[in-house]
Amino acid sequence: MTHSFFGGVYPATRKDMTRRKPLARLSHTPQELIIPLIMCADGPATPMVRPGDPVTAGQPIARRGQTGATAHASVSGRVTAIEDRPHPWGGLSPAIVIQNDERGEHYGGRPAPLDPRLLTLEQLVERVEWAGIVGMGGGTYPTWQKIAESAGKVDTLIVNVAECEPYVTADYRLLLERSEHILRGAQAIARCLGADRVVVVTEGDKLNAVEAVERRLRRSGNGRVQIIPVRTCYPLGAEKQIIQTVTGREVPPGGVPTDVHCAVFNVATVFAIQDALFQGRPLTHRAVTITGGAVTRPRNLWVPIGTPLRHLLETCGGLKEEADRILTGGPMMGVALQDLEAPVMKDTNSLVCLTDWEHKPDTPAGVCIRCGKCVGACPMHLAPTVIRRYLEDRDLNKLSRFPLEDCNSCGCCSFICPAQIPLVETVAQAANFVKRGGAAP
């Protein structure tokens, strides 16, 4: 039985360009790879190499200090520089630049595979931290911390394959093609966390993936793992919405999933965890969808982290017409790309190149007509139009009554607004206003 969550919208999915395209490896890796030191929401890592040092594929090249996540070389070669380079999140950021020698030599210090039957929580946390795994669905929170904070507090582990963003199919293809590995990883995580139930959640139109997982489950005879196809509704993939859909439990304002005894992991994260546990491999590659009406041959690719996004676009034949907007991530929450020389990150699931007819035109915001559509669409019950009015009045007292920290910037309010008011930005401004205590920026 599934439940529903409040709000949400129904943008055109536009996944047909890539949903039938298997994950393919690059025909040739780029000559230069860029490994940013900022790979997670926790902050930058510290370099372990210097310019001129040789590296092998899978070798740790940046360590987690007080912040950050361990980073590894995704190819063998030589470090040519540690300098500021374009970052997918915007601007410039320190990065380790590796000249690819195309030999594919692998790091000899990889840890031995672990036995899933004897795996302990301590081993799981240690191996995930070593592998540099972060939330690969967009959150980029260090996964070892999430595991440590969830241990003993959850009864349900949710593997998130909802992938509700339009255009993107990387997670779907990963589940379809690597379901055995994903199920094995999910069961190992659940056992260490003390969860009684594992639920794989995907959209109801992904029948191939559902059937593949169900066949695996029938063969294994594991009754505590199930796959649930649910009706497509954006933002189903958000943590709090997927928990409510699966369990009927609602995470309280300002709360976290463990408050309702759940833990949610993106399917790519689960795959990376099992790879680290049972193959001794760190996180060096990931699935990326390259798509959009401007792309010549949209595809799903299995690529080394650090690959310049321009190289992925060239692998797909480049642009067949001018792109009006290029994003990393989908059109609802994606980040507008400033430079195609920016590299694939651990959380980069797509490169979306849109023509002018594929998105709303950028027009000046109109006047709010108080239609209430944004109130009905906001899955976090935030009433964006009311927040906007209080922000214009600089009313700190009334704004403080809203759980503004719960806004996940899903974009439902801006998407549904007939006046095209940038309500996502408005709520973010209100949150900053409250955080400053009403002081001017």
**pLDDT attached to residue 440:** 61
The pLDDT value given to residue 358: 86
Is residue 286 a contact partner of residue 39, using CB atoms and an 8 Å limit? Answer: no
Q: Side chain identity at 67, as an amino acid letter?
A: T
User: With contact defined as beta carbons under 8 Å apart, do 299 and 290 qualify?
Assistant: yes
pTM of the model: 0.94
Residue 359 carries which side chain, given as an amino acid letter?
A: H
Name the region of 104 (left: φ>0; alpha: ψ -120 to 50; beta: rest).
left
Q: Sign of the C-alpha dihedral, residues 216, 218, 223, 226?
A: positive
Q: What is the largest CA-CA distance in the chain?
A: 64
The interaxial angle of helices 121-131 and 179-193, nearest 10 deg, is 130
What's the number of CA atoms in the CB half-sphere (13 Å) around residue 102? 7
Query: What share of the chain in percent tops pLDDT 90?
Result: 80
Task: Establish how many alpha carbons lie within 13 A of residue 368's alpha carbon, considering only the half-sphere containing its beta carbon.
Answer: 18
Rg (CA), the chain: 22
209-267 residue pLDDT tens: 888 888 888 777 666 889 989 888 999 999 999 999 999 999 998 899 999 999 999 99
- Going by their DSSP bridges, the two strands 156-161 and 197-203 should be labelled as parallel
Distance of alpha carbon 124 from alpha carbon 359, whole angstroms? 43
Q: Which CATH class is domain 121-279?
A: alpha beta
Q: How far apart are CA 55 and CA 49, in angstroms?
A: 9
Residue 354 pLDDT grade (very low, low, confident, very high; cuts 50, 70, 90): very high
Q: What is the pLDDT of residues 60-114, one digit of tens each?
A: 999 988 778 999 999 999 999 999 999 999 899 999 999 999 999 999 999 999 9
* pLDDT for res 65: 81
Q: How far separated are the first and last CA of the chain, in Å rounded? A: 48
CB of 329 within 8 A of CB of 349? yes
Residue limits of CATH 3.40.50.11540 in the chain:
121-279
Cis peptide before 422 (omega within 30 of 0): no
Classified as helix, coil or strand, 226 is strand
pLDDT over threshold 90, residue 134: yes
